[in-house]
Amino acid sequence: EPEVTQTPSHQVTQMGQEVILRCVPISNHLYFYWYRQILGQKVEFLVSFYNNEISEKSEIFDDQFSVERPDGSNFTLKIRSTKLEDSAMYFCASRRNRAATDTQYFGPGTRLTVL
Amino acid sequence: DAKTTQPNSMESNEEEPVHLPCNHSTISGTDYIHWYRQLPSQGPEYVIHGLTSNVNNRMASLAIAEDRKSSTLILHRATLRDAAVYYCILLFGNEKLTFGTGTRLTIIP
């Protein structure tokens, strides 16, 4: 069964450094998402992406964040200058269609630790 | 986004059925009811969805009240692997999933 993959599984970085989290969505999917989950808290939406554009973003997704689909397979989340509060699990998800009946498939996540 | 209310936690014995309730009294006529779950240290995983009629799949059943103001996710025979946080989410064409705190299901061996 096709699955969403994410790398790395764990990223440790110093405050102020840039990080890039990588995702490979399911190959025939057209809609891509990033969510995050701070330890012990809810899963929160960050951004959705379709046709090489951001279609929706949350208040969390400020100028320090960016997303890109650099080629036909990868989908990346960049944090330009990490803060301590960016420490969280980051989940990538993809979806084939935008219909309310369509399932989002999540990756296993990247644990980001900012020191 | 329409709001859902779920119990914070539930326990069930292994190999017994589990009924996980969800209240969504402000649901609109076009909202779909989705259930996702999150196993420990994993990403969320789709379980089932429905609109008005009860639904079954290989993982679970979804029973939807006639007035659609509540629904129940049914795991017919819980296993230890079903221990997870279960989320009831309403969705209409919105791209994003809005997760609440969900119900933490503990399975007792």
- Which H helix or E strand runs over A75? strand A75-79
- pLDDT tens-digit series, residues A35-52: 999 999 999 999 999 999
- Cis peptide leading into residue A8 (ω within 30°): yes
Chain A CA closest to residue B92: A100
- pLDDT tens-digit series, residues A61-100: 999 999 999 887 899 999 999 999 999 999 999 999 888 8
- Using a CB-CB distance cutoff of 8 angstroms, which residues of chain B are in contact with residue A31? 95
- Residue A7: C-alpha distances to residues A36, A115, B11, B27, B34 (Å): 15, 19, 34, 37, 28
Contact assignment for A43 to B44 by CB distance below 8 Å: yes
Copy the structure tokens of residue B39.
């196993």
Chain B interface disruption, residue of A91, A104, A105, A111, most B CBs within 10 A: A104
Give the gap in angstroms from C-alpha A25 to the nearest C-alpha of chain B.
14
- pLDDT tens-digit series, residues B16-56: 999 999 999 999 888 999 999 999 999 999 999 999 999 99
Contacts of residue B70, Cβ cutoff 8 Å, sequence gap at least 6? B21, B22, B23, B24, B25
Residue B95 and residue B92: Cα distance in Å, rounded? 8
